[in-house]
Structure 1
Amino acid sequence: MRRLRNVKIVATLGPASETYEMIRALHEAGADVFRLNMSHGSHDEIREKHRIIRQIEKELENPIAILADLQGPKLRVGVFAKDSEELENGATFRMDLDESAGDATRVCLPHPEIFAALEVGKTLLVNDGKIRLRVETCGTDFADCVVVNGGTISNRKGVNVPDVVLPLAALSEKDLDDLEFACGLGIDWLALSFVQRPEDVHQARKLVQGRAAVLSKIEKPSAVEGFDAILEASDGIMVARGDLGVELPVSAVPPIQKRLIRKCRKAAKPVIVATQMLESMIESPMPTRAEVSDVAMAIYEGADAVMLSAESAAGAFPVQAVETMNSVAIEVEQDPTYTQIMEASRQVDRASVADAIVSAAREIAETTPIKAICCFTESGTTALLTARERPRVPIIAMTSLRGTARRLALSWGIKCVIVIEVSRFKSAVVGAARAATTLGYADQQDQIVVTAGLPFNVPGTTNILRVAPCDERLIYNMEKE
């Protein structure tokens, strides 16, 4: 299945998109990656979605990435005697560990870790930031606050603590259970919610044990501050703008998004931009102009993927939402300005032979009539380095490992082809030529660039580049290796 764009589309599955027919329609409409939200649905329901995706993958012979998104530690207030209360600006309000029902003056906050970390002057946000409280006095089991921004507070509303690094376990008991379940299923990416520090990622990696790539969701101010270390520890990043926009001024989110995308690209690690991208399409078949501009801006900034959440999981128009994202991506990438931006924003430290090889491949493709760059890869690193270059021609990743092919489905511009292991470079060139012509990227009279590593099937050995014809007769007449 050939896409007419380089940026990838992530679609979340849910009640509106759980049948075989709908999931296949989403994939054919443009979804390259399916997100399984571990916050919703039973393990049996998630297992069935996973089974359907793998069935579609087999039928269409097209690697599909599956991303399991862990819930993360959820901080919520307790319940109220009247179910809800109105908090007025300037009023006092207490949060404590008393489990009795709340009223207009107090409520239970059953998280002693929060009280242990709070200080006078810090902020508590309730109900997605609609209510803002400032801590006046606090102790190990209470916080007396003044209401800065009032509103309706009701049962079990979420709480955010933006300016404090909380001493919370990175993975809750539910997360630990979900992690083992998802990795046992055979998912390709595991997303960690509310990452605060690189140690959170290290803990998850130990538990994953290489069964999936680890993706960190950036939705806390502390994660933005310590982003470089978190990026180094992660295989990929999601800019989760929902909670990020709650805990930081909304005006700060766009420049943060741009900076994080640039850093991910420089590190050759995929980055997803997520949350409220086509929010109105939950209920409308048409997006707003502002939403289309938002999606376009993420693509112009160089994101590897853009994501649909409720739009595809619970909305009334899931297929239309994917089609809209697909058409916006095609339109943006056909704009000459897009190519100029990608090339002007290229920041690469040439630190290895592999860096030099992929850079040379891109330069050759830009200065000669090359139709595609075909890279043989075991771990996926060579394909990721090639994608970092943002070449003007298609990238075909050739791998014998199905898991590698699936994980690369998340990355910019990479079309994955699963091949049998090769031991001779001439055989590799033949396979690359066949893939380029079969996929429609090249004709027999065209040429491609082939990169590989000798010895074959050893990760991290990319050390050879060849401009090769697509005509197999000419390949067989090449010099003996």
Structure 2
Amino acid sequence: MPKEAFRLTKIVFTLGPASADERMLERLILAGVDVCRLNMAHADHAWTRAMIRRVREVCQRTGRHIALLMDVKGPEIRTGDLPEPVELTAGQLIDFLPQPGESEHRILAVSVNYPSFGEDVQTGSTVLVDSGLIRLEVVSATSARVRCRVVVPARLGNRRHINLPGVKVRLPALTAKDRADVTVGIEEGVDFFALSFVREADDIDILRRYLSEKGSSARVIAKIEDQSAIANLDEIVTASDAVMVARGDLGIEVPMEDLPLIQRRTVEACIRLRKPVIVATHLLESMIQSPVPTRAEVSDIASAVWSTADAIMLSGETTTGRYPLECVQFMKRVAGRIEGTTSKGYNADLPLKTHKDRLLRSAIVLAQEIGESGIVVFTRSGLLPQTLSALRASRCPIYAFTDNPVAFRHLLLVWGVEPFLMDFGAEPEKTIRDAFAYLLRRGWVQTGDWMVVVTNVLAGEQTIDTIQLRPVE
């Protein structure tokens, strides 16, 4: 059996009408997706429960398991309902009403769902509506009314999202809707929760405490999508279990030309702090309608892969797009092509805090010098594979074996790690042989390949960390 191709970069897809069919789900899972995202901005609880169970059933049938990520909606400011859409014009005045009331004659009045809107903005502030399509400037602000002048006009419809670049808003980190959604995710055993509009580390702690109260071991992903998050980036990365560069809202909140710099800075911070990072939004946006991507989109994916982001994500492409399977296949092809061009090496800049860290670095150097080798590591918590991953060793597959189903699913998001769920034997030697047999059976290695095994042995009453060099037999 030829070796199975090893892909370093993971693929996250978002579930929706285009991908929810059992047959399509099966094709996507077999095509190589690693994590399924549920976007709670557009999902009710009955659908969510049904889809989680469907994903698990398809995984069981195909024998390939993926992780589940619930993306909670988070706090947001939206306009209210209008009798009909309004075509705005440049220079026109518009009143936003945080409190019930009426505007002056001939000035368009629009309600807003955020009572403190008028207290947070000031004269001269920028207000962006509908993903930045409409740009407004605040002319005056009181607790009852925020009057704006239209700078860039467009059609204003119902319940449009409002962004306030550079403004620190006083919205709760976790809304009542979020808590209800998270409770459903906990009951269904979701592996990751992504928190929207994270502004500081305390926001992460609020969600983590809620998970702990409910007895959940799910990981928390911080979505970086506003200027406050950028200012507090390191503390947010430290507080979270993983990070998502949510380029949709982030691209509205910051100057567009700063977006690549922020993406790069975030990826580098996550690697340094040993946290997985997802690059999300618009990677294959044109493929919502087109069967092939643009050249720029291919380059965008390649850039994320070159930066060694842990994962790249599909949103509208797999929820409402016409070509969900083709999107996954293109991502996989581009990632494989770019990864195949990298030379041997590792992240020599990663701070190594312990002797065990240095031992793991030695395992990588040994595996790379042997060539056509890989590292077999045994873990219950997932920490050793995450450290190996942070070293970002090219051409050095990390095969992580665990008997912990929770750790197995969490490792599905980690760069360069292929996790396997396997019972550990009473004797370490049997566990190692079982792991080799597993890899042979699944086509990941061939007889005669040399593997670097990271394990520990008992010497009397002392546990000693070791590196073993062993052939696959």
Q: Same fold (TM over 0.5)?
A: yes
Match of 2:357 in 1: 355
Spell out the pairing of 1:268-307 with structure 2 (5 A cutoff): 268-307=274-313
**Equivalence for 1:431:** 434
* RMSD across aligned positions (CA): 2.1
Paired residue for 1:74?
Answer: 76
23, 35, 39: which one aligns with 2:25 = 23
- Hey, what's the Cα distance between the residues in 1 that align with 2:244 and 2:10? 13
Distance 1:384 1:104 in 2: 57
Q: Counterpart amino acid of 1:282?
A: I
SS in 1 for 2:90: coil
1:354 counterpart letter in structure 2: K
How far residue 246 of structure 1 moved from its aligned partner, in angstroms, is: 0.8
**1:140-289 superposed matches below 5 A:** 140-209=143-212, 210-289=216-295
Which residue identity is paired with 1:170?
A
- 1:2 is displaced (CA, Å) by 4.5
TM-score, normalising length: structure 1: 0.91
Residue of structure 1 in register with 2:124 after alignment: 121
Structure 1 distance, partners of 2:184, 2:313, is 24
Q: Can you give the 5+ residue segments of structure 2 that lack an aligned partner in the other structure?
A: none
Q: For 1:364-405, what per-residue CA distance to the aligned partner results, in whole angstroms no more than 9, with x for missing partners? A: 111124621011111111111111122222111110011111
Change (3 A) 1:46 1:3: farther
Aligned position for 1:415 = 418
Check if 1:315 corresponds to 2:321. yes
Distance 2:464 2:117 in 1: 49
Q: Say whether the 8 Å CA contact 1:12–1:309 is kept in structure 2.
A: yes
Deviations 1:231-258 (A, max 9, x none): 0111101101000001111111111111
Q: For 1:446 and 1:39, locate their aligned partners in 2 and report how far apart those are by CA, in whole Å.
A: 48
Q: Secondary structure at the match of 1:293?
A: helix
Whether the 8 Å contact between 1:372 and 1:442 is mirrored in structure 2 is: no
Work out the CA distance in 1 between the residues paired with 2:255 and 2:45. Answer: 36
- For residues 465 and 430 of structure 1, the distance between their equivalents in structure 2, rounded to whole angstroms, comes to 15
The CA deviation at 1:55 is 1.7
The reply on whether 1:329 has 2:335 as its aligned counterpart is yes
Q: Secondary structure at the match of 1:132?
A: strand
Q: What is the number of equivalent residue pairs in this alignment?
A: 462
Alpha-carbon shift at residue 133 of structure 1 (Å): 1.8
SS of the counterpart of 1:384? helix
2:367 — aligned with what? Answer: 365
Distance in 2 between the 1:319 and 1:100 partners?
A: 49
Among 367, 372, 387, which residue is 1:385 paired with? 387
SS in 2 for 1:190: strand
Cα deviation 1:152-180 (Å, max 9, x = unaligned): 22221110111112111111111000001
Give me the TM-score of the superposition, normalised by structure 2: 0.92
How far did residue 141 of structure 1 move? 2.5
Q: Distance in 2 between matches of 1:4 and 1:367?
A: 18
Confirm or deny: 8 A CA contact 2:225 2:247 kept in the other structure: yes
Q: Could you tell me which amino acid in structure 2 is paired with residue 259 of structure 1?
A: R
Q: Counterparts of 1:179 and 1:446 in 2: how far apart (Å)?
A: 45
| One-letter amino acid matched to 1:89 | A
Task: Provide the residue aligned with 1:479 in structure 2.
Answer: none
Corresponding position of 1:86: 87
Question: Equivalent residue of 2:199, what SS?
Answer: coil
How many angstroms apart in 1 are the aligned matches of 2:101 and 2:323?
Answer: 43
CA offset digits 1:268-320 (Å, max 9, x no partner): 21111110111111111111111111111111111111111111111111111
Please give the alpha-carbon distance, in whole angstroms, between the structure 2 residues aligned to 1:71 and 1:203. Answer: 15
Residue in 2 that maps onto 1:55: 57
Which amino acid is the alignment partner of residue 51 of structure 1? R
Deviates more, 1:58-67 or 1:202-211: 58-67
Q: Distance in 1 between matches of 2:457 and 2:179?
A: 40
Using the alignment, how far apart are the partners of 1:51 and 1:112 within structure 2?
Answer: 39
**What does residue 114 of structure 2 align with?**
111
Q: Secondary structure at the match of 1:112?
A: coil
Is the partner of 1:179 in helix, strand or coil? helix
Counterpart CA distance in 1 for 2:182 and 2:51 is 16
The question of whether the paired residues in 2 share the 8 Å contact of 1:376 and 1:453 is answered with: no
Q: Secondary structure at the match of 1:421?
A: coil
1:98, CA displacement in angstroms? 4.5
218-227 vs 89-98, greater mean Cα deviation:
89-98
**Can you list the C-alpha shifts for 1:43-62, whole angstroms capped at 9, x where unaligned?**
22111221122122223333
Say whether the 8 Å CA contact 2:375–2:451 is kept in structure 1: yes
